[in-house]
Amino acid sequence: MKKRVFVGLSGGVDSSVAAALLKEQNYDVVGVYMKNWTADLPGMKCPWAADLADAKRVAVALGIPFRVFDFQAEYKKLVVDYMIAEYERGRTPNPDVMCNQEIKFGLFARAAFAAGADYVATGHYARNLAEKSRNSATESSRNFAGENSSRERHFLARAKCENKDQTYFLYRITEEILARTIFPLGDFASKNDVRAAAKTRGLPTFAKKDSQGICFVGEVGVRDFLSQFVETAPGDIIEQETGRVIGRHDGAIVYTFGQRHGLSVGGGLPYYVVGKNMAKNEVYVSRNLNNREFFREEIELSECHWINDAPKKILADGSSPSYLARFRHRGALVKCEIAKLNAAKNLATIKLAEPQRAVAPGQSVVIYSGEICLGGGIAQ
């Protein structure tokens, strides 16, 4: 009997190719469009209807059943409200991470399994390695705990195309869900190869542009989005070193740590945001790129999630294993060690081999051992 897989069809080229490949691999494929956000914003029409139409066209072209799962209420609560609350606290959240945790590999996966799916699949650029594959693929297998488990383990690995790798957004997936997840695009060398695969198969989305902006709205900036939900008030932009007011902003909530553009502070070298006081509605800036507020050598993480097991702080021989940390999608991988680890409270502190600039509170920090994504936490 064929294994049944529910594929999240977003209406884009990536998920279209994922579904096509699975059908060719003799799976019983069901396409599912997740209806998460449909609200229009001033000057910006939400593209959900067009995306739904494209997803249906792909399903028809492939000759597969098609369903719509409506998660709008849950999405508003779990992703949108979370994002707004984090910005109100002066932090820098990542709604894509929360969307994957709560919706795609939470609600969608559970609904698919309840409806009879053996697996779920998406168009993410990532790889799912079983134990035997992982042992040969990573040079750092000794850094894992629980290696002698009798059950087959599944590990999240970076995509072959490093430029498109999306494991940064997937680090909060559970091993239980990962074991029943397929990432058909993980071995593609480039996005151009994916588009070529779509064109060869006659998929109607082969030339569709990638979506930009906030994950659930489309091409709209954070500032414009937040202005619809949060009242903002003008306040002072203050030079940190002197305490001098050098300009005015239209709401501290929309400024992020390390931001350069959009300050409207003229003349000379550029200013960068180095801090905020949400209670006073003040934004602090500096021209000094060596400002100690910019760089961090140790980063405390809260709400840590480890896909398989917590990383080891000390190895059996007394040495400290070396890991890699990533602070943003497509960001550089930086060598680090686990300085502190409290698995019971989901806390950790990492020590970086070289200081990193502009790591903002609320930002996701993802930890790797070789090409394996171990998990990560939220920078404090």
Question: 113 and 86, same structural domain?
Answer: yes
Alpha helices in the chain (DSSP H): 13-24, 48-62, 72-75, 81-88, 95-99, 108-114, 131-137, 167-170, 175-178, 191-200, 222-226
The residues carrying an active-site annotation are 99, 215
Strand partners of residue 299 = 350
The token pair that represents 115 in the structure block: 């409806």
- Number of structural domains (the chain) is 3
The token pair that represents 31 in the structure block: 């396409």
* Domain span holding position 277: 232-286
Question: 15 and 108, same structural domain?
Answer: yes
Helices 13-24 & 191-200 angle (0-180, nearest 10): 60
Instruction: Answer yes or no: pTM beyond 0.75.
Output: yes
The token pair that represents 245 in the structure block: 């007011």
Answer yes or no: is 167 within a domain: yes
CATH of the domain at 184: 3.40.50.620
Cα separation, 377 vs 380, whole angstroms: 9
Cα separation, 142 vs 252, whole angstroms: 45
pLDDT tens over the chain, length 380 residues: 899 999 999 999 999 999 999 999 999 999 999 999 998 887 778 889 999 999 999 999 999 999 999 999 999 999 999 999 999 999 999 999 999 999 999 999 999 999 999 999 999 999 999 986 555 444 444 455 444 455 689 999 999 999 999 999 999 999 999 999 999 999 999 999 999 999 999 999 999 998 766 665 566 677 778 888 898 899 999 999 999 999 999 899 989 888 888 787 867 788 999 999 999 999 999 998 787 778 899 999 999 999 999 998 887 777 779 999 999 999 999 999 999 999 999 999 999 999 998 899 999 999 999 999 999 999 99
Contact between residue 344 and residue 334 where contact means Cβ atoms under 8 Å apart: no
Q: Which residue has the tokens 């059908």?
A: 23
Read off φ and ψ for residue 267, nearest 5 degrees.
Answer: 85, 140
Answer yes or no: is 212 within a domain: no
CATH of the domain at 281: 2.30.30.280
